Amino acid sequence: MVANLNFNGVTRRVVMQAPKNGFFYVLEAATGKLISADPFVPVNWASHVDIETGRPVENPAARYDRTGEVAFVTPTGAGAHNWRPMSFSPKTGLVYFGSRHSAQAYIADADFTPSSVGTNTGVSRALTPAQQADMAAREDLQFEDRGALMGWDPVGRGPVWRVLDPQNAIDGGTLATGGDLVFAGGGQGEFIAYRADNGDRLWTFSAQTGVAAGPISYAIDGEQYIAVAAGRGLQPYYQPNHSRLLAFKIGGSAALPPAAEYSPPELNPPPNTASAEVVTRGAAVYGQNCVQCHGNRIGTFPDLRTSASLANAELFNAIVLDGALTANGMVSFAAALSREDADAARAYIITLANEAKDAETAAAAIAAQNAADADAPHTE
Ligand code: HEC
């Protein structure tokens, strides 16, 4: 983003970006010379950016390919801020964007060979239980929220306000208006107007679908409109989407038609009958080929723990090996996986599903016990 900034009375034309790597950059537009680069989320892969060279000063431990050790890195490839458009208000001098917290364990895959399907980064996702425990114990990688919408001061080099984002609700593109508002949507289907100077929430519209795009402002016959393309779906994956161009004006009276009815699938896994070795192999297969799309627990794509195909090996393999859902974006993995690999992946997902089911049952039992305790007559 290009803008004129006022540095102690001196106006400089700058280029600004909040990239995936977690540092907010301000560069002189005419020369590309670095003016500042400051972390806007916790960053541990580099200590800082060298102002003279413009290069990040890396933490050697982050070079997992050289150390041979696991590196716990934040932010990850998901990005501290991704492509969602930022905005700048010349009135407040602030830049508005949503940040994201993320952490991942990176370890070089010693047996890496490129494959025609799956991910080819040479990173192994198969952590040992000890490495998983190490990661869980790292306090610097526990985040209280998913990120924040920020009003960032590029001259003062820090946030003036932050609206915490517990649920991935406000990471959409932003628009700052001359009326001192900031509009932004998010993954939970809300389109929101904030005060540009302090982040107070002033107005909320329920869009029935995630709002990721950057909003726009325009005028017709002197009347101002705000419009945004909505429709990235909500979790879970099979929930109906409502893709629309939404346009707003002061006094506008249109209402959305009712959202389509939907009830999410329930956890109903078959019992786990596979050996521990098979489940471990399945974890490696899943980590290498499936996790990027289907997630660890909750991902963008279907949560496989609720899949009916868990109880049906033929159906599961028709999808995973024969490509029965290719037209929908789930290709065959036959080039990389044997039938045994696919069976092992299914056994691993069944294990995850049973763990989740047990946790659900335990939580329900505790809730029932609490309700019974509350109803029980109290004695002195
Ligand atoms: C590039 C993304 C991607 C990867 C990688 C991927 N999948 Fe999928 N998968 C999808 C999508 C998209 C769907 C949903 C297709 C649809 O809408 O019918 C899906 C659906 C499925 C389903 C059916 C889900 C249901 O609701 O019953 C199964 C089973 C499945 N995938 C297994 C796997 C396994 C096992 C792996 C790893 C070997 C894998 N997938 C890797 C994208 C992916």
Q: Is residue 270 part of a domain?
A: no
Same domain? For 143 and 292 the reply is no
What's the pLDDT at 379?
44
What's the pLDDT at 332?
97
The 8-class DSSP code of residue 269 comes to P
Sheet holding 94-100, edge to edge: 87-89, 94-100, 147-153, 158-164
What's the pLDDT at 377?
56
Same domain? For 156 and 244 the reply is yes
User: Ligand 1, from 294, 300, 306, 338: best to mutate by most atoms within 8 Å of Cβ?
Assistant: 294
Pair of tokens at residue 35: 């003016």
- CB-side exposure of 136: number of CA atoms within 13 Å? 7
Q: Is residue 253 part of a domain?
A: no
Q: Is residue 271 part of a domain?
A: no
Distance in angstroms (rounded) separating the CA atoms of residues 334 and 338: 7
Q: Is residue 326 part of a domain?
A: yes
Residue 90 CB coordination number (10 Å): 12
Residue nearest to atom 42 of ligand 1 (CA): 330
CA atoms 335, 336, 342, 346: torsion sign: negative
Q: Is residue 120 part of a domain?
A: yes
> Which secondary-structure segment (H or E) carries 357?
helix 339-375
DSSP string, 272-305: P-S-HHHHHHHHHHHHHHTHHHH-SSS-SS--GG
Average pLDDT, the chain: 91
Distance in angstroms (rounded) separating the CA atoms of residues 170 and 199: 12
> Which secondary-structure segment (H or E) carries 132?
helix 129-137
Q: What percent of the chain is predicted at pLDDT more than 90?
A: 64
Ligand 1 shell residues, CB under 6 Å: 289-290, 292-294, 301-302, 304, 307-309, 316, 319-320, 325, 328-330, 333, 345
Same domain? For 181 and 48 the reply is yes
Same domain? For 230 and 361 the reply is no
CATH assignment of the domain containing 116: 2.140.10.10
Same domain? For 233 and 281 the reply is no
Distance 14 CA to ligand 1 centre (A): 44
Same domain? For 199 and 57 the reply is yes
Residue nearest to atom 21 of ligand 1 (CA): 330
Residue 110 CB coordination number (10 Å): 8
Q: Give, for all 380 residues of the chain, the pLDDT tens digit.
A: 999 999 999 999 999 999 999 999 999 999 999 999 999 999 999 999 999 999 999 999 999 999 999 999 999 888 999 999 999 999 999 999 999 888 888 999 888 888 888 778 888 766 777 888 888 888 888 887 788 999 999 999 999 999 987 666 667 999 999 999 999 998 788 999 999 999 999 999 999 988 999 999 999 999 999 999 999 777 678 888 899 999 999 999 999 999 888 888 899 999 999 999 999 999 889 988 898 888 765 556 899 999 999 999 999 999 999 999 999 999 999 999 999 999 999 999 999 999 999 998 998 888 888 887 776 655 44
Distance in angstroms (rounded) separating the CA atoms of residues 288 and 117: 10
Distance 143 CA to ligand 1 centre (A): 29
> Which secondary-structure segment (H or E) carries 196?
none
Same domain? For 287 and 243 the reply is no
What's the pLDDT at 380?
41
Q: Is residue 290 part of a domain?
A: yes
Same domain? For 178 and 311 the reply is no
Residue nearest to atom 20 of ligand 1 (CA): 330
Residue nearest to atom 25 of ligand 1 (CA): 307
Q: Is residue 84 part of a domain?
A: yes
Tell how strand 147-153 and strand 123-124 pair up: unpaired
Ligand 1 atom at minimal distance to the Cα of residue 336: 38
Residue 31 gets the label, from left (phi > 0), alpha (psi -120 to 50) or beta, of alpha
Q: Is residue 259 part of a domain?
A: no
Distance 12 CA to ligand 1 centre (A): 50
Residue 317 CB coordination number (10 Å): 19
CATH assignment of the domain containing 329: 1.10.760.10
Distance 46 CA to ligand 1 centre (A): 35
Cis peptide before 302 (omega within 30 of 0): no
What's the pLDDT at 378?
52
Distance in angstroms (rounded) separating the CA atoms of residues 195 and 90: 14
What's the pLDDT at 200?
96
137 within 8 A of 143, measured Cβ to Cβ: no
Distance 177 CA to ligand 1 centre (A): 41
Residue owning tokens 């610097």: 140
User: Ligand 1, from 325, 330, 339: best to mutate by most atoms within 8 Å of Cβ?
Assistant: 330
Q: How many domains does the chain have?
A: 2
Distance in angstroms (rounded) separating the CA atoms of residues 80 and 40: 8
Same domain? For 242 and 316 the reply is no
Same domain? For 26 and 150 the reply is yes
Same domain? For 196 and 341 the reply is no
Distance 294 CA to ligand 1 centre (A): 7
State the pTM of this model: 0.87
> Which secondary-structure segment (H or E) carries 184?
strand 181-185
Ligand 1 atom at minimal distance to the Cα of residue 337: 38
Ligand 1 atom at minimal distance to the Cα of residue 304: 24
Distance 326 CA to ligand 1 centre (A): 9
Same domain? For 324 and 205 the reply is no
Task: Determine the residue type at 208.
Answer: Q
What is the domain extent for residue 218? 2-248
Distance 306 CA to ligand 1 centre (A): 12
Residue 149 CB coordination number (10 Å): 26
Residue nearest to atom 32 of ligand 1 (CA): 320
User: Ligand 1, from 286, 325, 346: best to mutate by most atoms within 8 Å of Cβ?
Assistant: 325
138 within 8 A of 105, measured Cβ to Cβ: no
What's the pLDDT at 141?
85
